[in-house]
Amino acid sequence: MERLWKGCLLCLAVLLFAGCTAVNHYLGFWQAKQEAREAFSREQSAELLMQLAPEDAYLLLGKLAFDREPAGPILLLAVTDKFKKREIAARSPMQTPLDYYQIHLPEGVYEIYFFADLDENGYFEAHECVGRLPRPVTIAKQKVKDGLSVIGPDLKLNLAAPSKTDLVFEEKVRRHSYVYESLEDEFFDPRYGEIGLYDFKVFMAHTQQYIFSFETMNPRKTQVLFVHGVAGTPRDFQYMVRGIDRKRYQPWFYFYPSGLPLKKLGANLANIIKYAEANNPGRLRRLIIVAHSMGGLVALSTIQHLSADGVPPYLKGCISFNSPYGGVEAAASGIKYAPAVVPSWHDVAAGSPFLNELYTEGKHKAIPFYLFFGYKTGDSSDGTITLQSQLNRNIHLSAHKSYGFNASHVGILRDEQARQVFYRTLSDLDRD
């Protein structure tokens, strides 16, 4: 009992890093894990396996085309016989327009189906199958590309000639766009950041994709990709984005479940960027990545994957705010004592294998890197992350420039001085 309570108290320390003001989200996460384990011990299923360990899933993705423009979202279903005959193991609703498919899957053999709401009754149904991969896909650790993703075959969906399947399901269609007028939209509400830390399934049911913007892609503008921190949402950047020159820059936002392993989150973003460029050559001319808090680690991982074969010509630089480059000591304590561990804690913990690999590779050194750090007068931290971690020598010494501000961990994103320096830095990076 003493160990349990100690664990809970240390969990609170980690949750403070996430900006959480209550523990009910963590307690719900802990309880859900317990219930899933108990249910899995009674009756094994692929769906429960995914719920138990989403961090062990790999990303299947591939190129997608259509015989005609779809009128609404597409539903991807993965079917397996691993535990039960013809069990739906995972589903991935995908909003259009899209030119690639993706779904997270644990190890196993899967048949992949695609559905569209052709009769427009508000539901995806078994008779509305518009395509399937020609052969089952095997997800196995030893076969996974870069240890993180599986590249599936290209597929063209036939909306004009759907087929009927023997699957038993009915899924309500939820429509939304990747384009939003404002970060004030309820879609970016902070509660979804907390959900993304603890419940991958519920989070993805809400977002159904990862990249969002205020307008459709404009290749004449410089793309600025914002990456939020743990338990965050794109709304965290509202103040910074509000004054950005929209005639020159196009803001984009990576809205991701921050509880997953950071290497997988970085690889996922890198794959999305690669597919965007490969499917539309020349459209991505200039890209600058901007990150806050743990998002800085995700950004470095993204750069690492993008630059595996050399720095892509469109990648012009990276700017980070108050990122824990030296890790977080509380995360290591949480891993040791907490009754249930959030997967991303392993990576953000001081001295983690993820951090060691990140700096050993050192891909960020090949592009202009600007480090913004925060401190509070009389304190050696920004109130959350220590200066020692923010200015870790592995990143600080390789930074093109570093700027310090008397601002808190989150407050730096609302600091006017920091904002003006940020705009000047964007301009510096946006020069040929």
Taking only the tens of pLDDT, the chain with its 432 residues reads 444 444 444 444 444 444 444 466 777 888 888 999 999 999 999 989 988 999 999 999 899 999 999 999 999 999 999 999 999 999 999 998 888 999 999 999 999 999 999 999 999 999 999 999 999 999 998 878 777 888 899 999 999 999 999 999 999 999 988 999 999 999 999 999 999 999 998 999 999 999 999 999 999 999 999 999 999 999 999 999 999 999 999 999 999 999 999 999 999 999 999 988 877 777 889 999 999 999 999 999 999 999 999 999 999 999 999 999 999 988 877 788 888 889 999 999 999 999 999 998 888 889 999 999 999 877 889 999 999 999 999 999 999 999 999 999 999 999 999 999 999 999 999 986
Beta bridge partners of 406: 375
- The predicted model scores a pTM of 0.92
Instruction: State the pLDDT at residue 28.
Output: 82
Q: Give the pLDDT of residue 124.
A: 98
Joined together, the tokens standing for residue 117 give 């709401």
Alpha-carbon gap, residue 278 to 269, rounded angstroms: 14
**Neighbour tally for 55: CB within 10 Å:** 17
Fold of the domain spanning 186-429: Rossmann fold (3.40.50)
- Domain 54-172: give its CATH code: 2.60.40.10
Q: What are the distances in angstroms from CA 151 to CA 61, 131, 145, 204, 216?
A: 5, 17, 7, 21, 26
Omega within 30 of 0 (cis) for the link into 190: no
Chain center to CA of 370: 22
The one-letter amino acid code at 214 reads F
Q: What angle do CA 247, 249, 254 make, to 5 degrees?
A: 140
**Which helix (H) or strand (E) covers residue 110, if one does?**
strand 108-116
Alpha helices in 307-386 (DSSP H): 329-337, 343-348, 353-361
Other beta carbons within 10 angstroms of residue 218's beta carbon come to 13
**pLDDT confidence of residue 9:** 44
Whole-angstrom distance, CA of residue 337 vs CA of residue 342: 12
pLDDT of residue 329: 84
Domain ranges (residues) in the chain? 54-172, 186-429
